[in-house]
Structure 1
Amino acid sequence: TAVKAAFTNEALQAAVDQVRAGATQPLAVLQGLLTLNGEQLSQKAFCTRFDVTDGAIRTAVQKGWLKKVAVEVYRDPYATSDIKTTKALQLNDEQQVAVDQITQAVDQAATTTFLLEGVTGSGKTEVYLQSMAAALAQGKTALMLVPEISLTPQMVQRVKGRFGKAVAVLHSGLSSGEKYDEWRRIQRGEAQVVVGARSAVFAPLKNLGLIVMDEEHESTYKQDDAPRYHARQVALWRSRYHNCPVVLGSATPSLETRARAEKGVYQRLLLADRVNRRPLPKVSIIDMKKEMQQHAESNFSAPLLVALQDRLERHEQSVLMLNRRGYSSFVLCRDCGFVLKCPNCDISLTLHMDTHTMKCHYCGHEEAIPRNCPNCHSRQIRYYGTGTEKVEEELQDLLPDANIIRMDNDTTRKKGAHAKLLAQFGSGEADILIGTQMIAKGLDFPNVTLVGVLNADTALGLPDFRASERTFQLLTQVSGRAGRAEKSGHVYIQTFNPDHYAIRFAQHHDYEGFFKYEMQMRHRGGYPPYYFTVQITASDLDEGVAAKRMYQLLQWLRPRLAPSTILLGPTPRPIARVNRRYYYQIVIKYKQEPNLAQTLTTLLHETQAQQRQGLQIGIDVEPLHFM
């Protein structure tokens, strides 16, 4: 609520003359209104500035001296944040070349797509910021995408530090009201820069001058349920619509993006060195098979423990990552081998110690932790697998003097928890940060000199042709968190597959070597980027209905597509049942298929009626997961 004079200054002065001399509050109100000279001010600010009470305001309203005005106030999610203003940094030669090329494309309103390939710590963020500043200098707007909410706090601080109130933020960690207000600021042209996760690609920016996509390889840019879209494809569409360049940045670009740069479809900009000329951290591979033979079963190898103790004594910080993808904490009976599974899905239930329950991560089913085996009634039912809670407990026993912060889905569920935990670690309140993939990328803490990957190869066993690429990217990203400032860094990777090519290339920070090797593997198997893919799924509560419909679809598709197009399936999905529904899939692989768009559109329209009977058909163009 704001207050505003209801009279002219002459009428207010006349009212002052009529008020008795001892009436301090009414006089203060009138003097305040005269000072405002017709302007409005929030009631709270008015009372503070002119030292008047709310009661005096009410009296002034009754006397008709002032009126209250409803004022729209935006909810600012970063209002209490202490964000320091920053200035543009001096660029090195590689960064300057990149900024010049991007700025030239902004000037010419060219729809060029740049691949900014830079090792971790090479100063990609500064290139983004100075390129965005060039777009703003021309009166244009800029959009910056980050892959997930955990990266947003640090990136928001950097962008807000440079562009201040011109920045709006959009991600799932905001309340509905905050999202609504940020969206309106953008729509009204009050914010010229937008930073956000996947859905921010739809931000209603006008006169767009530059789109930046940080960590472009991340799978979180793809939405797996309807509407199934990839933020990169939407960004490229907006680039053509608004006539502006796109910058795709990564230390480990996706094979599809890097292959397009190789063919000249994208323009490649390379940052080969760290900005401070610091070397990339030394990476040691620890063979856990040998560790298991020499020591009792533990999440921590002897070399990693010695290194952690050494960092504690030197008052340096460590980051430990637990690779949870494809790896669950489950309950198994030692007598009969029974694994507790979800009654609705074909996957084991995950143990959650915070709620003391077993949970399904697909459908949300929850039940108590069993004391006896439901199959053979034995009491030999035990917890297997490694969760972040279990790792934290073990580490606290091994290093009782260490202050540990844990970052996972359980500890970051509350609003603002990501930023709070990272701020605590950044200010030195903890010695060790333990987390899942969310801590692998984007974080920049100068005192971190040790990074440990506890189980590097859990994703390698997944039935997915991208398993090696994801493992290499994750290991390279998390390795880049070490030794980013003056102190040198060291990385320990614990693995049962020390000779796997993804782990060996990650050890030497050799993206180009990995790219060439993996492209050979993809060519041999006929996988993307040599082929485009479309996944069609049918799901029903009755397995027979889903299977039958997929066979019918196969017969319908064959004559409509070119003979060179490959149709794989129908097969049950690797996780065949989710939330009591059975899933079958067909995968279409093609190099050129002129009839595909029309065929898929026809398929969508013709299957609409069957949806009412319970059968669901899904179409996913270029899926990132076939699970």
Structure 2
Amino acid sequence: MTKLAQIIVDVPLMQTDKPFSYRIPEDLIELTQVGSRVHVPFGRGNRLLQGFVVAIAEQENLVETTELKDIQEVLDLEPVLNSEQIALADEMRKTVFSYKISLLRSMIPSLLNSNYDKLLEAVEGTPQDIRQNLLGDKPSISFSNLSDQDQRLAQRLVKQGLLKLTYLAQDKKTQKTEKWYRVNQARLAELEVPARAKKREALKEFLDQQTEGGRYKELLEDYSREQIAFFVEQGGLEIYEVVVNRSDAYFDQVEKTEFLSLNAQQAEVVERITSRIGQASVPFLLEGITGSGKTEVYLHIIDRVLKEGKTAIVLVPEISLTPQMTNRFISRFGDQVAIMHSGLSDGEKYDEWCKIKSGQAKVVVGARSAIFAPLENIGAIIIDEEHEATYKQESNPRYHARDVALLRAKHHQAVLVLGSATPSIESRARASKGVYEFLELSQRANPQAKIPEVEILDFRDYIGQQELSNYTPLLLDKIKDRLAKGEQVVLMLNRRGFSSFIMCRECSYVDQCPNCDISLTLHMDTKSMNCHYCGYQKGIPRTCPNCQSASIRYYGTGTQKAYDELQEALPEARILRMDVDTTRKKGAHEAILAKFGAHEADILLGTQMIAKGLDFPNVTLVGVLNADTSLNLPDFRASERTFQLLTQVAGRAGRADKPGEVLIQTYNPNHYAIQLAKRQDYEAFYKHEMAVRRQLNYPPYFYTVGLTLSHKDEEFVIQKSYEILRFLKEHLSDKVQILGPTPKPIARTHKLYHYQLILKYRFEDQLEATLNAILDLTQEPANKDLRLIIDHEPQNVM
């Protein structure tokens, strides 16, 4: 009986988007498992490729298997993917138009897809002969340095729990190891230390009491390296390195907290949700006003989940939210929590993944990719701020975390909770139709905390009256008042950098990126002009590159300019700036928020990353410097995003006993998104926006698919766009509306021209087959430099 493995090879092409059959050699049968990575020969040259085993079968007819190739190596001692994840990739492939291998790779840490080595080390209690035969006198050894026979022996011993396997970067700088010591008591007893060597004698007495060893750095606190080296050389002491969990630092300094009492609304929500754990149920949409205590509700739900012996996933939309959110979960559930977000290094992500895979972690808190966490027996999946566009991945594979959560919740019969003060229009519509179960929190968790007063300031009324471009006199007066009272202020400007662009007053020349159709942004901290799309950078021009005039000026505004203006107007104020540029360094989010939380600053000025989830009781004033930034974008969700952002940032004020106030500066004071944000009236906005969407045939009334074609030659990409248009019309029904092809609003980036088509439909049986056929067409030799993106329900059409 021959065993065969079905393997998806690591070649992202339409021709390889299927499993290939390989024979499992007899000596690898025990090690080859579904979900493991393997090396297999592929193609005419038989080059070795990585692949994933997705199925194993038996074949009785040996004749039919003679042409098959053999698996060359099993890379994992335990599968890196479970059966649920493999089935999940099959389901996602139907709507995420990405090849299966790309979906599978996205489910494991990038470390496992990189150039990393496998390191073997003995675990405590390993028989001495095994240690000696495989590791010799070393505490650990590279797996690749063993002979083939010893590798197979080591794999079996790892499966038996006698050896430990760790993946480490071959670049030592990315490893985190710690030196420890162990004492050879028999050899130590034989050593004679000269009577005059008092320190050595003291160290010997100390080591004589150390039956379990300890950290090397603790020895160095009392004894010199030379004194320690004497005992190492004499064989009485052994120094070795152990791999340290690189994410442990995130759990340090977090004090344990107790659960808060719930009000009647919160308690009812928790009861309704937890009563469905383990049942086939519809998702819950939890609409809770800002400050209503949604996070405390999540904590109580997960407490119930853990008590039932199940696990949970909590998604948050951005890194800036994770410090406060993760701290609250760690303070309640301790080391049962694992954190997963892009702010972690590859090594930290891998360590947390191992923590989840081993079953040590029961609660995963993280950003979008945490939805793939390899948890078993999931009882709850919670998506906080479910409306956020960041839950949709904008690079391949273009999945939406909410869609993946629906599939995983169905598989585990877990409760799925979508929480937001401003739900996406699509989610709220599904709740109105009973597709989601609607729950509401309409009062703040703190009875003393009132909804802040919101005032709209018409920028047009202040033209010619204000000295500073970003601040009306009234907003400045309000800030001064809060400073005098010792209260704190949050100011939001949805831009970064110093100014939007530079322009010549003589010839109207605007300094643009040579690779992209977009103006360069001035950054005074680096004294450079930067492109925020391709990364192009150049020095600041002092004269116009076009007409050589000195009449070149800066226009627009940004967080740095807003910071400088405020510092000049209020020199006594302590101001923190929080945007992409000030949070590039690892840990910068946490450091800025911790400083503001400790009242080491009076004003927090930043982009939209400060608008959501932050909870500072001393903040009594929120100012929106320009509400119009996102309002006039060529995107049908522009009004929705503006309303959500203003509502969310307004919710940062008055979250404790002190009353809050919000000032919104705008040139469009009568726009319905701004007026309804002032009233904090989500339901009224929802009704108004639904009428607009219905009239224009946009979601949630219609589904959408975006197709973007990119090429360095504009005429070529136009030609191919019209070929795709003809193909779509031939293979889809008349029920599908096709917009385009048209240039994208930013038509050129990275030296490539971009054209797009938008499909709008309600029902279309041939859609999946047609889009897959288009994907196949773009891989023909004539189209090898043509890039195609197929985006199901695109969140941005820019």
TM over 0.5: yes
Q: Residue type of the partner of 2:299? A: L
Aligned counterparts, 1:258-297, within 5 A: 258-277=428-447, 278-296=449-467
* Contact 2:626-2:666 within 8 A present in 1 as well: yes
Distance in 2 (alpha carbons) for counterparts of 1:451 and 1:261: 31
Equivalent of 2:703 in 529, 532, 549: 532
Alpha carbons 2:188, 2:235 under 8 Å: kept: no
For the residues of structure 2 that align with 1:521 and 1:152, how far apart are their CA atoms?
35
- Please name the residue that 1:195 is paired with: 365
Gap change, CA 1:610 and 1:138, over 3 Å in 2: farther
Q: CA deviation at 1:13?
A: 9.2
Structure 2: distance between partners of 1:430 and 1:47: 39
Report the secondary structure of 1:598's partner residue: helix
Match of 1:43 in 2: 216
Structure number with higher relative contact order (C-alpha < 8 Å, ≥ 6 residues apart): 1
**Post-superposition shift, 1:450?**
0.2
**Structure 1: segments with no counterpart, 5+ residues:** none
Q: What is the CA distance between 1:67 and its match in structure 2?
A: 3.5
Name the stretch that deviates more: 166-175 or 347-356.
Answer: 166-175
Contact kept, 8 Å, 1:212 with 1:246, in 2: the verdict is: yes
1:146 aligns with 2:319: no
Deviation at 1:271? Answer: 0.6
Change (3 A) 1:384 1:253: same
- Could you tell me how far apart the structure 1 residues matched to 2:382 and 2:367 are? 12
Question: Of the candidates 737, 746, 749, which is equivalent to residue 578 of structure 1?
Answer: 749
Q: Which amino acid aligns with 1:3?
A: Y
SS in 2 for 1:608: coil
Superposed CA offset, 1:258-300 (max 9, x none): 1111111111111100011222100000011111154456211
Within 1, Cα distance between the matches of 2:380 and 2:299? 11
For 1:101, which of 247, 256, 272 is the aligned residue? 272
Counterpart contact for 1:335–1:380, Cα < 8 Å: yes
Name the counterpart of 2:147: none
CA contact (8 A) 1:135 1:142 kept: yes
Partner of 2:102: none
- Residue number in structure 2 paired with 1:4: 182
Bigger Cα displacement from structure 2, 503-512 vs 129-138: 129-138
Whole-Å separation in 2 of the counterparts to 1:167 and 1:507: 38
AA aligned to 1:506 is: A
Amino acid at match of 1:113: P
Shift of 1:79: 5.1
1:223-372 alignment runs, 5 A limit: 223-277=393-447, 278-296=449-467, 298-324=469-495, 329-372=500-543
One-letter amino acid of the structure 1 residue matched with residue 214 of structure 2: L
Number of residue pairs the alignment of both structures matches: 619
Question: Are the equivalent residues in 2 in contact too, given 1:109–1:209 (CA < 8 A)?
Answer: no
Counterparts of 2:766 and 2:651, CA distance in 1 = 44
1:105-143 residue CA offsets vs partner (Å, 9 max, x unmatched): 22x244531111100000001011111121122222221
Contact 1:325/1:458 (CA < 8 Å) preserved in 2? no
CA distance in 2, matches of 1:154, 1:358: 34
Amino acid paired to 1:166: Q
**Distance (whole Å) between structure 1 residues aligned to residue 223 and residue 551 of structure 2:** 73
Specify the SS of the correspondent of 1:78: helix
CA distance in 2, matches of 1:45, 1:105: 51
Is the Cα–Cα contact under 8 Å of residues 29 and 60 in structure 1 kept in the other structure? no
Q: Alpha-carbon deviations, 1:155-187, whole Å to 9, x = none?
A: 111111111122222222222222222222222
Distance in structure 2 (CA, Å) of the matches to 1:453 and 1:97: 35
Question: Which residue is 1:58 aligned to?
Answer: 229
- CA distance in 1 between counterparts of 2:339 and 2:586 reads 15
- Structure 1 stretch 180-189 or stretch 495-504: which is displaced more? 180-189
With over 3 angstroms needed to count, the CA separation of the structure-2 counterparts of 1:542 and 1:395, relative to structure 1, is same
CA distance in 1, matches of 2:284, 2:336: 25
Distance in 1 between residues matched to 2:199 and 2:477, nearest whole Å: 70
Counterpart selection for 2:245 from 71, 74, 78: 74
Alpha-carbon shift at residue 531 of structure 1 (Å): 0.5
- The question of whether the paired residues in 2 share the 8 Å contact of 1:440 and 1:477 is answered with yes
The answer (yes or no) to whether the contact 1:326–1:459 under 8 Å persists in 2 is no
Q: Which amino acid aligns with 1:438?
A: M
Tell me: CA distance 1:350–1:325, structure 2 relative to 1, closer, same or farther (3 Å): closer
Q: Which residue of 1 aligns with 2:301?
A: 131
Where does residue 546 of structure 2 map in the other structure?
375
- Measured after TM superposition, the shift of residue 545 of structure 1 is 0.7
Residue aligned with 1:3, SS:
strand
Instruction: Give the stretch that moved more between structures: 438-447 or 238-247.
Output: 238-247
Report if aligned partners of 2:251, 2:330 keep a CA contact under 8 Å in 1: no
How far, CA to CA, are the matches of 1:308 and 1:47 in structure 2? 52
Runs of 5+ unmatched residues, structure 2: 1-178
2:353 is the alignment partner of 1:163: no
SS of equivalent to 1:620: strand
Distance in 1 between residues matched to 2:193 and 2:504, nearest whole Å: 87
Deviation string 1:522-563 (CA, Å, 9 cap, x unpaired) is: 001111111100001111111111011111111111122122
Contact 1:168 / 1:193 at 8 angstroms: preserved in 2? yes
2:632 aligned partner: 461
Does structure 1 retain, via aligned residues, the 8 Å contact 2:499–2:554? no
Distance 1:77 1:68 in 2: 23
1:453-602 equivalence runs, <5 A: 453-602=624-773
Q: Which moved more, 1:436-445 or 1:218-227?
A: 218-227
Contact 2:497-2:560 at 8 Å conserved across structures: no
**Alpha-carbon RMSD:** 2.2
The question of whether the paired residues in 2 share the 8 Å contact of 1:3 and 1:68 is answered with yes
Counterpart-to-counterpart distance in 2, 1:30 and 1:186: 41
Aligned partners of 2:311, 2:419: CA distance in 1, in Å? 19
Corresponding residue for 1:451? Answer: 622
Taking the aligned partners of 2:357 and 2:381, their CA distance within structure 1 comes to 17
8 Å contact kept, 2:496–2:581: no
2:103 maps to what in 1? Answer: none
Matched residue, 1:84 = 255
130-139 vs 308-317, which moves further: 130-139
Q: State the secondary structure of the residue aligned to 1:517.
A: helix
* Aligned-pair CA distance for 1:512: 0.4
CA contact (8 A) 2:270 2:297 kept: yes
Give the Cα separation in 2 of the matches to 1:20 and 1:53: 17
- Separation in 1, partners of 2:445, 2:412: 33
Counterpart residue identity of residue 440, structure 2: L
Which whole-Å CA distance do the structure 2 matches of 1:54 and 1:206 have between them? Answer: 47
Deviations 1:322-370, CA, capped at 9 Å, x for gaps: 0229996111112222211111111111111111111111111112222
Partner of 2:140: none
Q: 1:389 to 1:59 in 2, by over 3 A?
A: same
CA distance in 2, matches of 1:181, 1:468: 41
Equivalent-residue separation in structure 1 for 2:499 and 2:189 (angstroms): 78
Note if contact 2:498-2:524 (Cα within 8 Å) is conserved in structure 1.
Answer: no
- Cα distance in 2 between the residues matched to 1:374 and 1:425: 43
* Contact in 2 for aligned 1:77/1:174 (Cα 8 Å): no
CA distance in 2, matches of 1:539, 1:327: 31
